[in-house]
Every structure is written in C-alpha cells, then in structure tokens.
Structure 1
Amino acid sequence: MDKHFLLLSSVFSCIAAVTPLRCITCHLRTQTDRCRRGFGVCAAEKKHETCMILKIFQDNTLQLSYMVCQRFCRELTYDLNDTYVHTCCNDNYCNFKI
C-alpha cells in the first residue's frame, strides 16, 4: 500500500510541475475596465515566460493596458509625456489583478 501511495504522489507532483502558468490576454483594455480587443487566456509554457501587463497613464490616470504571456519579462517604468508601467508576475491570472 505504501508503494502505491508513493507512486501516486510522485505522479501527481509531476503533473503539478508541468501545469502551465495561465495568464489573461487583452490587447486593448480601456480605462472603463473593459477589454476591447484580444480577450482570452494564454499559457506561459516556455521557459522564462510569465504573465505581463503594460499600463499607460496620462496625468496619473490609467488610459489603457495590454496583457499577455511574455518571455523574459522585466519590471520597467518609463516616464515620457505619459507613464508606461511594465509589470510581471508568476501566479495564475495575476496580470488581471494588478
């Protein structure tokens, strides 16, 4: 019985390790909190791929955002005429919560 339990637990741990990270996709989300284009879910299956959201602010007011699975994602903030905030995360659907 103990051998069966060990076998099953090792199989389940392998399945959990292979389950891809799920991220929300939206290629154009407006300040009214509605996705206008590209709403769905992507699976971050490749190595070094995470969930990403890009938010664009004008006068400290969110204008639009862009959400996808992103390879080699980096946390960045650009302050030009508008502010661009690039955020990465590693939990399922985390780019929708940020």
Structure 2
Amino acid sequence: MNKHFLLFFPLCCLIVAVTSLQCITCQLRMRKDRCRRGFGVCTAQKDEACMLLKIYEGNILQISYMMCQKFCKNITFDIRNRTYVHECCDYDNCNFKF
C-alpha cells in the first residue's frame, strides 16, 4: 500500500503545482517606471486572487501595487482628489497590466 501512495503522491503534487494561480508582486511601481520595490511572483493560496491597486491623481496614474490577496474585491473609491482602483483577477499574471 505504501508503494502505491509513494507513486501517487508526486502526481498529486504536480497537479497542484500546475493549477496554482501565479500573480505578479510589486510593492511600489511609479508612473511610467519599473517596479521599485518587491518585484516577483506569489502563488495564490486558498481564497486568494491576483490584485492590482492603481492610484490616480486626476486622471493620471501615480502609483500601483500588485500581489496575491485574500477575499479580493473589485472596488473603486475617491479620497482627497485621488481615485483608488482595486482590481482582482484569477488567471496567471493577470494583475500585470499597464
């Protein structure tokens, strides 16, 4: 029985690895610039999606922030002449758009 489990276990790991959602991470991306802090990839865990937060001043993108986020929701709100656009998606690297 243990031999069968040892043969089956790597297959399960491979399936999980192939189906895991990969998201881009960047903790600070300035307008028309590369990622300045935290560039990489995260693997979404249970109840997580890829998240992109864009902060606009007027209609001009100022800063963006990307990562995996638990219970992600699409929300847009305005505070003090800034618009915050919080977007969620669920396919690999979908939060990397400019």
Q: How many residues align?
A: 86
Other-structure match for 1:15 = 15
Is residue 73 of structure 1 aligned with residue 72 of structure 2? yes
Other-structure match for 2:38 = 38
Structure 1 residues 26-69: Cα deviation after superposition (integer angstroms, max 9, x where no partner): 00001023100000000002x21000000000010000100000
Q: Aligned to 2:15, what secondary structure does the other structure show?
A: helix
- Please give the root-mean-square deviation of Cα atoms over the aligned residues, in Å: 2.0
Q: Aligned to 1:97, what secondary structure does the other structure show?
A: coil
Q: Give, in angstroms, the shift of residue 97 of structure 1.
A: 2.5
Q: Give, in angstroms, the shift of residue 18 of structure 1.
A: 6.1
Unaligned runs of 5+ in 1: 1-10
Identity %: 60
Equivalent-residue separation in structure 2 for 1:94 and 1:86 (angstroms): 13
Other-structure match for 2:55 = 56
Equivalent-residue separation in structure 1 for 2:54 and 2:33 (angstroms): 12
Q: Aligned to 1:15, what secondary structure does the other structure show?
A: helix
What is the TM-score normalised by the length of structure 2?
Answer: 0.79
What is the TM-score normalised by the length of structure 1?
Answer: 0.79
Q: Aligned to 2:85, what secondary structure does the other structure show?
A: strand
Other-structure match for 1:25 = 25
Is residue 92 of structure 1 aligned with residue 92 of structure 2? yes
Change (3 A) 1:87 1:57: same
Q: Give, in angstroms, the shift of residue 16 of structure 1.
A: 5.9
Equivalent-residue separation in structure 1 for 2:84 and 2:77 (angstroms): 5
